[in-house]
Amino acid sequence: MTGKESKAPLIVLTAGGLAVAGLVAWAMMRSMDAPVAAGFHPPPVAAPIQTATSTAAVTATHASDPEHAAVPRITADELRAKMDRGEVTVIDVRDGDAFLKGHIPGARHIPLARVEGEIDYLPRAKQIVFYCT
């Protein structure tokens, strides 16, 4: 055996080891950024909800922007009443950390970046209410 033949396995093993280490590092970074599963609901956390006196008051705050003015809005009190009657599906579009720190009990978590891909899986029989901070 010459010196070249004995080094070949060492080079292959080193390259393979570096590739595996790179893949493990990549997988670990991806798992830390992974969104929380939609079915996961930690214990409800009481968080203060700012309320407006009426839908008109909420809409008036967005009237200056035509894009936002076209979006129907409801107050927290109206949302509670609709949730009590089972009339709405509530979707929290914040990131996973914000959802885990506190959310409306019963809300489903779908980060805003994933909403478009989840539209086909949302119930059609109820009004859907999206919320964020």
CB 77 within 8 A of CB 59: no
Domain regions of the chain by residue span:
1-34, 55-131
Domain 55-131, CATH among 3.40.250.10, 3.40.190.80, 3.40.449.10, 2.160.20.60: 3.40.250.10
Q: How confident is the model at residue 1 (pLDDT cuts 50, 70, 90)?
A: low
pLDDT of 74 > 50? The answer is yes
Please give the share of the chain, as a percent, with pLDDT higher than 70.
67
Mean pLDDT of 37-66: 53
The pTM for the full model equals: 0.51
pLDDT at 7 over 70: yes
The b/e string for 80-111 (b: 16+ C-beta within 10 A; e otherwise) is eebbeeeebbbbbbbbbeebeebbbeebbbbb
